[in-house]
Structure 1
Amino acid sequence: MDTTLDAWFVSEILVHEAALVQYLRRCWTQPDEIVDLRQEVYVRVYEAAAKARPQQPKSFLFASARHLMTDRLRRSRVVSIEPAGDFESLNVLVDEVSPERRFGARQILRRLAAAFDRLPGRCREIVWLRRVEELPQKEVALRLGISEKAVEKQIARGMRLLAEYYHGDDAAPSAPRRGETARAAEPAD
């Protein structure tokens, strides 16, 4: 141990203990932590002085105390990312996909693809650009050389036809083929 450092610490730092404790009580809201804060300030000052003695020890002592309180406040505001409980018992973790769920998902995908394939060509293209590629309505209209209103109508028509086929039975009205009009393809009420 460095006896000169110890002597310096006693003569330059410990003489301000009463003022330091008063400062900590005035600034820190939890009185039960004052003793711990004081000790931590002393450790910081002692370790720093072991490397190089400060020119103004009292100012250095109080600056160290202020920095310590600031550090503690910052740490108290940080939210821990450590798990707060046993997530396994809560069934929060992602389950492995069962073969039944995988098969069901494939069936849904096949049915949706079949419904999509039944859409008229232009309608299918517009639905693809708008819903799959997520292009804005204006860009779809510009790309296809049609009005935004036409895009809007084709999207509505495509969604209706997809829903009819997907949610209805296999006998749901199919999209009109080339040469047929939309009215002719729809069942009469």
Structure 2
Amino acid sequence: MNGPLDPALVAWVSAHVIPYEAELRARLRRLCAGDAEVDDLVQDVYCRILKLESVAHVLEPKAFLMQIAKNILVDRFRRDAVVQIDAVASLDELDVADPGPSPERVALARAELKWVLGLVANLPERCRDVFSARKIDGLSQLETARRLNLTENVVEKEMMRGLKLVAEMVARVGISVGTDHGTDPAPRPATRRNV
């Protein structure tokens, strides 16, 4: 490497890459001929990372580290021109599962959120405002009272009313979300009651 190392990059490597070095070495031991080759690969990985202009694009340092190691091994296989079939198959050892939710889970969560917001939308106005402030915005009872210019007693009563009405709506329509092939289970409007 030419020139001084970027202190911020070195700090990032220390905090986000070095904790995974032992796991990287363990995976590489299954792919390499010996400890000397593992050491060379690990050194090459660090060199590649420290040559980067920025690591701002790295969302998952562990997966990034394993992918760099995999890329270096692929480069070596290409350079050597003779590749053992089992060595190529073993590259999967360096794959890291995506820790994020699956596309199916994201779609289900969105459908659930839409369904819950539909229930909340069917609450009477003041009850809906209180319920939304407390359960969606995460405000305390006092903060909700101040925001909506209500007493804390009214906020408490409207919350209880909202919980009861939501429970009744859930009892009527069930809680299965998106199981009927794309149709939204539309909650029926809540009936107004005097509390």
Query: Do they superpose with TM above 0.5?
Result: no
Larger Rg, first or second structure (1 or 2): 1
Q: Give the TM-score of the pair, scaled to structure 2.
A: 0.40
Q: Give the TM-score of the pair, scaled to structure 1.
A: 0.41
